[in-house]
Structures are given as C-alpha cells and as structure tokens.
Amino acid sequence: MLMKVPAGIVSCIACVGNIMLTIRRLHDLNRSGWFVLLVIVPFVNIIWAIYV
C-alpha cells in the first residue's frame, strides 16, 4: 500500500503530460485542442487515434 500513493501521483502526472502532448499534435494538424474529448466517445476514439 505504501507504493500505491507515489505510483498514483506519477500516473496522474503522466496522464496530464499525455493530454498536453496530444493537444500540441492537434494544433500541428490545425485542429482545436477540444478534439481530445473525442477519446471519450466509443468507436470514434479508435478512428481518431489512427488519424492522429
């Protein structure tokens, strides 16, 4: 249990970093950063991930 807290913190930091990197790639494609929210929609996220 002692290692779960630091692992959770590192996981949250990595998740935020991943979202920020995805938004930068979307800006490179001249898309809005709000397109990141398409990851939430089932089936659309697979097609979108392949496109990006």
Environment class of 38 (CB within 10 Å of its CB; exposed 0-12, middle 13-18, buried 19+): middle
0.75 exceeded by pTM: no
Predicted local distance difference test score (pLDDT) of residue 36: 85
Mean pLDDT for the stretch of residues 16-33: 91
Mean pLDDT of 12-26: 91
Q: Mean pLDDT across the stretch 13-29?
A: 91
Residue 36 tokens, joined: 């990141």
User: Closest by alpha carbon to 37, among 11, 13, 9, 26?
Assistant: 26
Q: 28 pLDDT exceeds 90? A: yes
pLDDT of 24 reads: 94
- 8 A C-beta contact, residue 26 and residue 38: no
Task: Please check whether residue 48 is in contact with residue 39, taking contact to mean a CB–CB distance below 8 angstroms.
Answer: yes
Mean pLDDT of 38-51: 81
